[in-house]
Amino acid sequence: MEQTTKAKKKILIAEHSGFCYGVKMAVDKAFDLAETSSRPVYVLGELIHNPQVIEKLHEKNVKTVKSVEEIPPGSACLIRTHGVDPEHIDKAQTKDISVSDATCPDVRRVQERAMALAHEGYTVIVVGKEEHPEIVGIMAHSRCIEGANIVAVNSPDELESALQGYSKSRVGIVSQTTQKEETFFQVVAEVAKFAREMKVYNTICPATFKRQTAAEKLAHEVDLMVVIGGKNSSNTTHLAEVCREIGTPAIHIETVAELTGHSDLEAAETIGVTAGASTPDWLVQDVLHYLESL
Mind listing the pLDDT tens digit for each residue in 240-294? Answer: 999 999 999 999 999 999 999 888 998 899 999 999 999 999 999 999 999 999 8
Contact 218, 274 (CB under 8 A): yes
How many Cβ atoms are within 10 Å of 264's Cβ, its own excluded?
A: 14
Would you state the pLDDT for residue 7? 52
Mean pLDDT, rounded, of the chain: 95
pLDDT class of 3 with cuts at 50, 70, 90: low
Contact 113, 93 (CB under 8 A): no
> Do strands 9-13 and 2-6 pair parallel, antiparallel, or not at all (unpaired)?
antiparallel
Contact 151, 163 (CB under 8 A): yes
Residue 159 has pLDDT above 50, yes or no: yes
Backbone angles phi, psi at 169, to 5 degrees: -80, -40
CA of 17: how far to CAs of 67, 85, 152, 239, in Å?
Answer: 32, 29, 28, 10
**Rg of the chain in Å (alpha carbons):** 21
Residues 120-156 as b or e (16 or more Cβ within 10 Å = b): eebbbbbbbbeebbbbbbbbbbbbebeebbbbbbbeb
d(CA 255, CA 55): 13
Would you state the pLDDT for residue 228? 98
Domain ranges of the chain: 2-20+206-292, 22-103, 106-200
Would you state the pLDDT for residue 133? 96
Residue 1 has pLDDT above 90, yes or no: no
Q: What percent of the chain has pLDDT over 70?
A: 98
- Which position among 15, 120, 134, 258 bears the catalytic label? 134
In terms of phi and psi (left: phi > 0; alpha: psi -120 to 50; beta: otherwise), the region of 13 is beta
pLDDT digits (tens, 9 = 90+) for 180-194: 999 999 999 999 999
CA of 234: how far to CAs of 133, 147, 153, 193, in Å?
Answer: 11, 30, 15, 28
pLDDT class of 5 with cuts at 50, 70, 90: very low
| Domain 2-20+206-292 = CATH 3.40.1010.20 | yes
d(CA 16, CA 19): 9
Would you state the pLDDT for residue 6? 44
| SS3 label, residue 232 | coil
Catalytic site residue 131? no
Residue 4 has pLDDT above 70, yes or no: no
d(CA 29, CA 108): 17
CA of 214: how far to CAs of 89, 217, 272, 274, in Å?
Answer: 37, 5, 11, 9
pLDDT class of 8 with cuts at 50, 70, 90: confident
Q: Enumerate residues 6+ apart whose C-beta is below 8 A from 98.
A: 39, 75, 76, 77
106-200 maps to which CATH number?
3.40.1010.20
22-103 maps to which CATH number?
3.40.50.11270
Mean of the pLDDT values across residues 81-105?
A: 96
Domain pair 2-20+206-292 / 106-200, same fold: yes
- At 218, the amino acid letter reads L
Mean of the pLDDT values across residues 82-94?
A: 95
- At 207, the amino acid letter reads A
Mean of the pLDDT values across residues 53-80?
A: 97
